[in-house]
Chain A
């Protein structure tokens, strides 16, 4: 059965309140979504690191992958680097393992892959030999930088295939492999149950308690 993000939210709320939440419940969908997104990122990273310990390759399970199509990017006048904004920073896996591929689309189908350079190599990669027609990218936070030899034709888009912990629609299937959904649920519940034991101050007395 496909689990949507909304179903995950409702499942957590029903478990937390041990019933349908009443109208005095304070756990909102948006707050739960933050917890769920955090948990998905945590589980994806854990599974990628476990894969590394088994086969020596850090790879995020396919269930976390999605392809973002970036239609808007700008060329920096000072550096001539193109840059665009990702929906979120990549997961914190080493060697850029959280991003599977970056390529251009929009003119003649998918381009050859844009090559990754690490942040440490950005300042000198242009001085070293590189393949013809090569393009490079690196990421700083949510900003995707690209370097190409020539100007990109109008209509060019950039596709980024990467692991994601967020969803564009709460009614869409959650971006988590089925075997990890239970782990995500458990992590969210563990975080929330701590809250049950924190006393809430409901008396107006000018004293924080």
Chain B
């Protein structure tokens, strides 16, 4: 019974309060005094977006002719699994995400989407991506007809143009961007903030990723406080993961 309890505690997702506690511990360790909830939220939310970008793949690491980052989405299951808390899917149908207007079929981008993982038809044919500058050539292509087996999309600001326009259903798999964490609090008799889960937003990351994010947050706080020790600590986490 006790063993089950231990396992439960180890696997339960970390709360925003626990993240705040860890970061305060690091800051105190570096003798920087207190870390306000607002500072914590700024640092942590920036850090988690930074880490998310790192896992998806940094475009700064692309080279001409080789759009391959050092670490990127689907590189290994280790990378992919870490992003799974943000995995989502939608089935779009005519009138519900799919719009057919004057022969043009468009699919609305789901709320919160950040990275499209896959788009496929009702019969599990992939819908592949065509850039706008190749669109005309694709339409005029004599090898591949514009049918479900050769369906494709062109990305626009808020939606995708879908070809062929005869499709009535699309399945989307995508990643959403991490939601901002919120450390909600009430104040005690001395006006000091006291954590409350009401109104708080916990991070969705797996626990082992929290350490990576905390390290990045520490670096950001170090920059904010002009404290090189914290920045070095954060850079160390980014470079070596520990």
Contacts and interface: CB of A to CB of B under 8 A. Distances in A.
B80 to A, nearest CB: 13
A108 interface: no
B144 A24 contact: no
A23 B119 contact: yes
A202 B65 CA distance: 8
B150 A28 contact: yes
17 contacts: A23-B118, A23-B119, A23-B126, A23-B128, A23-B129, A24-B129, A28-B143, A28-B144, A29-B149, A30-B143, A31-B143, A31-B144, A34-B143, A200-B65, A202-B67, A202-B131, A203-B64
Interface string B54-69: 0000000000110100
Nearest to B74: A22
B133 interface: yes
Contacts of A30: 143-145, 150
A203 B118 CA distance: 23
Sort chain A's interface into a size bin.
Answer: 10 to 19
Given A28-B143, A34-B143, A204 B150 contact: no
Interface in B142-160: 143-145, 149-150
A6 to B, nearest CB: 12
Interface of A: 23-26, 28-31, 34, 199-200, 202-204
Contact of A204 (B119, B126, B133, B145): B133
Contacts of B128: 23-26
Contacts of B144: 28, 30-31
Interface of B: 64-65, 67, 118-120, 126-129, 131, 133, 143-145, 149-150
Nearest to A29: B149
Contacts of B145: 30
Given A23-B126, A23-B129, A31-B143, 18 more contacts: A23-B118, A23-B119, A23-B120, A23-B127, A23-B128, A24-B128, A24-B129, A25-B128, A28-B143, A28-B144, A29-B149, A30-B143, A30-B144, A30-B145, A31-B144, A34-B143, A202-B67, A203-B64
Contacts of A204: 133
B100 to A, nearest CB: 23
B89 to A, nearest CB: 15
A98 to B, nearest CB: 25
Nearest to A31: B143
A25 B128 CA distance: 8
A199 B126 contact: no
A61 B67 CA distance: 47
Nearest to A28: B144
3 cross-chain pairs, A with B, having the tightest CB-CB distances, nearest first: A23-B126, A30-B143, A28-B144
A29 B126 CA distance: 12
A146 B127 CA distance: 47
A202 B145 CA distance: 23
A204 B65 CA distance: 13
Contacts of A26: 128
Contacts of A203: 64
Contacts of A202: 67, 131
A204 B135 CA distance: 13
Nearest to A26: B128
Given A23-B128, A28-B144, A199 B150 contact: no
A203 B63 CA distance: 12
B143 A199 contact: no
A199 B127 CA distance: 24
A207 B79 CA distance: 37
A15 to B, nearest CB: 19
Interface centre among A23, A30, A31, A200 (most CB of B within 10 A): A23
Nearest to B150: A28
A71 to B, nearest CB: 26
A13 to B, nearest CB: 12
